[in-house]
Amino acid sequence: MSHFGRSGPPDIKDTYSLLVLNISFRTTADDLFPLFDRYGKVVDVFIPRDRRTGESRGFAFVRYKYADEAQKAVDRLDGRNVDGRNIMVQFAKYGPNAERIQKGRIVEAIPKTRGRSRSRSPRHRYRDDYREKDYRRRSHSRSRGRYESDRYHERERDHRRRSRSQSRSRSRSGSLDYYGGRGRDDRRSRSVSYDSASPIRHIPSPERSLTPHRTPPSSPNKGSHSVRSPPSRNVSPQDRGANSRSPSPRSPNED
């Protein structure tokens, strides 16, 4: 994105890309353009932003029309204090699409093989692996602190299936005949049955769930759900188990 009015990357033919690092998060392309344009012909200035927040990532790409000017800009702007931060200007080593570029100039196109030249960094990029499961900036600091919310919780994995899978695996190991496939199979059958019933906690009396929390026959708000989770949360497994299995230590009757 650049203030040139174009959406994607303009004509990057014979252009030299400069990587500007250590820039302030407030620094924008408009701020860098005049600064870099002073030393040469800047064809485009792009500052990668976060797709979630949209804020700058702290670095920018400046493309010059000539290498000599780019080199001069690097020598001049490198280490220069911008917006209160000393920026680092250097030639980009990789193109927008992971092309191999030398001195900011693209010398090698993307190979047919997906093996990007930047295999130096095994970590995946956010755009390739952009998923809310492992998204994170290249910041090991508090940077992601604000992005990370307490709401994000890892999804539970299916451990039960693995257990059964292993049992089956061992059977196939060759010990099945040894135990007498049939007898063992029968035993496993019950085991599976029991196991299946175990995880599935059937509520003895579903109505009880609604009992403690009396549901108004007619809701004041028609067709409007004030809450969706709270009611479920009210029912605690302990209370349910205590009521259905054994009376509470303190019986209201004796009181």
Partner DNA sequence: GTTGAGCGTT
Question: Which of 94/135 has CB closer to DNA?
Answer: 94
Tokens 């890309």 belong to: 17
Give min distance, CB of 133 to DNA, in A. Answer: 19
Inter-residue contact 9 to 46 (CB < 8 Å): yes
For 89, 90, 152, 201, 228, the CA distances from 101, given in Å and listed in that order, are 16, 13, 39, 60, 55
97: contact with DNA by CB under 7 A: yes
Residue 32 interacts with DNA (CB under 7 A)? no
Any contact of residue 24 with DNA (CB under 7 A)? yes
222 touches DNA (CB under 7 A): no
Figure out which of the listed residues 33, 39, 46, 64 binds DNA, where binding follows CB under 7 A: 46
Relative orientation angle of helices 67-77 and 29-37, to the nearest 10 degrees: 110
Please tell me whether residue 240 binds DNA under the rule CB under 7 A: no
Site for DNA in 57-96 (CB under 7 A): 57-59, 61, 63, 85, 90-96
Q: Under the criterion CB under 7 A, does residue 143 sit at the interface with DNA?
A: yes
The one segment of 8-16, 149-157, 216-224, 227-235 that binds DNA by CB under 7 A: 8-16
The tokens describing 217, both together, are 């026959």
Q: Are strands 100-102 and 88-91 parallel, antiparallel or unpaired?
A: unpaired
Going from the C-alpha of 170 to that of each of 90, 175, 181, 252, the distances in angstroms are 58, 7, 12, 53
Smaller CB separation from DNA, 122 or 174: 122
- Least separation in angstroms between CB 241 and DNA: 42
DSSP of 175-209: IHHHHTHHHHHHHHHHHHHHHHHTTS---S-HHHH
Q: Is 48 in the site for DNA (CB under 7 A)?
A: yes
* Interaction of residue 122 with DNA, rule CB under 7 A: no
User: 3-class DSSP state for residue 236?
Assistant: coil
**Chain positions contacting DNA, by CB under 7 A:** 1-2, 7-9, 12, 17, 19, 21-25, 44, 46, 48, 55, 57-59, 61, 63, 85, 90-98, 101, 118, 121, 125, 127, 137-143, 145-146
